[in-house]
Amino acid sequence: MTKSELIEALARQQPHLAQKDVELAVKCIIEKMNQALSSGERIEIRGFGSFSLHERPPRMGRNPKTGDSVALAKKYVPHFKPGKELRDRVDESRGKCKIID
């Protein structure tokens, strides 16, 4: 499923809204999630999961071309922990359907 398929599915379920408004709403939710994470704020959606940042400590890296050492600063990466309901529903579907892209 892609973002545009998600928008279509949500528009079908809310026929009282214009497709354009559904599209704006989806973009608004995604932008809010991006903003929250890039300012270090956690997101907690009951039954779905939580998004947070994990710290990666500073390390010495290498330029793969020249072999020179470079100091890499500490950084943060986004992390998602699925909630119990999502975990259970996905696991229960294991025997029923194959994974498709």
We find the least distance from the C-beta atom of residue 44 to other proteins, in angstroms, to be: 4
Q: Map tokens 């599915």 to a residue.
A: 9
CA distances from 11 to 30, 34, 57, 79 (A): 16, 23, 43, 29
By CB under 8 A, name the binding residues for other proteins: 1-3, 6, 9-10, 13-14, 16-17, 21-22, 24-26, 28-30, 32-34, 36-51, 53, 55, 74-80, 82, 85-87, 89-94, 96-101
Angstrom distance (rounded) from CA 22 to CA 7 = 6
Between residues 16 and 67, which has the closer beta carbon with respect to other proteins? 16
Q: How far is the CB of 82 from other proteins (least distance, A)?
A: 5
Give the shortest CB-52-to-other proteins separation in angstroms: 8
Closer of 65 and 94 to other proteins (Cβ): 94
Q: CA 42: distance to chain centroid?
A: 12
Angle at CA of residue 27, ends 84 and 7, nearest 5° = 75
Minimum CB separation from other proteins for residue 18, in Å? 11
Q: Rounded to whole angstroms, how far apart are CA atoms 21 and 81?
A: 30
